[in-house]
Each structure stands twice: as C-alpha cells, then as structure tokens.
Structure 1
Amino acid sequence: MNFDKKGKKNLSLNVVSNKEHKGFGAGMINLSQMSSMIIDGDKAYIDIGALHAKSKVEKGIKFLTDKEEVPNGRKCWVAWVAVDRNEEGSYYAGVTVCEMLIDEEARRGWKILADHVNKMDKALKRKFILDGLDDTEKTALRTALIEHNQEWWENSGDELKEGLSA
C-alpha cells in the first residue's frame, strides 16, 4: 500500500501479482498468466511490451482510429495468450487476436484500443477468438506457440488447435 506525505492511501493499479487480494484492491485484473505476441506476416514472436501498447512494432507510431488514414499500413496482430494449469500441467487456456495496421515510413498506424482491451479480457476469461487470421498468420502463431512450449501446446484443448489449423 502506498501512502502520501499526509498518511493518506494512494490508489495504484497493481496489474501483476500472484497474491490473493481481499478488501482494498480486490477484483483487480491479474495479468501474471497473460502474455502478448505479435504476428507480423509469416512470423510470430513474444513481445510483452504489447501489454502496455509498447511492442516493437508499436513504438514510434501514432495510432489513428480511421483505417482509411493508413492506406499503406501492413497488417499486424496482437495475440493475447493466457496460460493456465490443471492436473496434466500448463496449457494455453485463452487466445484472442486484434488487428493493427502499421506504416513505419509515415509513422502512422491504426488500431481500436477498446477492441484490444476487450480481447485481452476475453483471453483472460479463457476464450479463443482467432477471427480474421489468414492461413499464413495462423501457421505463424501455431508455430510460435509450439516452439515456446510444446508440452503446453499438447495439453491445450482442441478448440485452439482447430482454430489455428491452416
């Protein structure tokens, strides 16, 4: 708990924690089992910076809400990946994707922040939303998840595996 000079409680957002909260601060989002990946064409990689909109592809980009203002943008995706554990071990429990357009030359991009937040929430709630990915992007994400931890992939449910079959 943080206190100011007068001894009053300062509100602070604690988003990464592994302790159980009761009372003040209860119900905060726990991102300790959440990670973010970037899908950029035929490559997918972990980029934890996306949790704060500071991934490698997002840095230095001014984001707009009108897709038509980024006519030369290349399509990239943020994949929100939640990991859970059961009696068989850890597994990919929720995966959702959000589209972005990135024009590095113009330093402009397009994304809908509300969509990113809502999809992150859906992944935390153990949902799979992979709409919009083409076969190349599905293959890139599937490969990255398997290469990161094959056992987690094998322990994951059929919904994820079928959703990422190209």
Structure 2
Amino acid sequence: MNLKKAILLGAIVITAVGCTEKSYDDCVINNLQGVDGKAVSSVIGACRNKFPRAKLPEKSLDGLQVLLVTGRAGLNDYTNNYSGSLYNGNNNITVKSVILSIKVTNGKKSITREYAVNITIPPLSTSDFNAEILLGDKGASYSWFISSAKGIPLTTN
C-alpha cells in the first residue's frame, strides 16, 4: 500500500471512530461515501468498535422448552464426573445453561442434588457437558433430569 492510500485509510478510520452518529448503521452509511476496497472493512470495523453488538439477556425457558432439551448422561468410571451430551430441540433458542437434578439412590435411601452446568447448545444441535458431583456410597445408582434451563431467544431481525 502506498503512502497516499495509507494516509487516506487512516483518515477514514479516524473519522469513523470519531463520528457523531448515534448508531452503527448511521456510522457505516455516513463514512462509506466514496470509499472502496480495503477501506470499506476498516470503516466497518471502526464503526463496530464504536457501536458493539449488545449482548442479549438470558431468559429462563418455560416448561415445554425445557422438555425439548434431552440427552444421555452417566457417571464416569472411577471419578466424580457426571457427563454426557444434550440435544436442544428448540428451533429458536440457544441454550446457555441447565440445572441438572441428579438423584443418588442406595437401597431405600435417596437424595437429589442440583448442579449448574454452563453450556452452549445452538438450536437443533448437541453439545457435551461435564459436572463434578458428590458421589453416593459404593453401589449407589444414579438418575438425572433437567429441572430448568436458560437460553437466548433468536431474533428475527
């Protein structure tokens, strides 16, 4: 890149970053006038830095949405790791966390404990998880279910 182009590119980026626009779209539109080539991506990058994407808040899934999160899991041999794969059957929510309720049964005694698992499962996809749990006595059996979950609804924009 020659010196003239470098100076022009620098001026465009500085203009985009120092712009007085109130939104990302305004920043891009106002600063792309008469710009081409590599300068376009620089302007877009500078505007995105000034107007970062807002993080969408996680929301609790309703009962039906939780039921659509299914999978397989079990205790790993010789460890206290309970792991498996979960499938997100929701077509418009990315699952971000689940609460696993794990029941430990030994004879007639049983106890259920809840474990928070951070996980990202896009719609209609699977993802693996691992949770350290408190083990039951020797010979105990384990069962589990998802008692709640949080996710981010997909936007239609």
TM-score (norm 2): 0.27
Larger gyration radius, structure 1 or structure 2: 2
User: Which has a greater percent of strand?
Assistant: 2
Q: Whose RCO is larger (CA < 8 A, sep 6+)?
A: 2
| TM-score under structure 1 length normalisation | 0.26
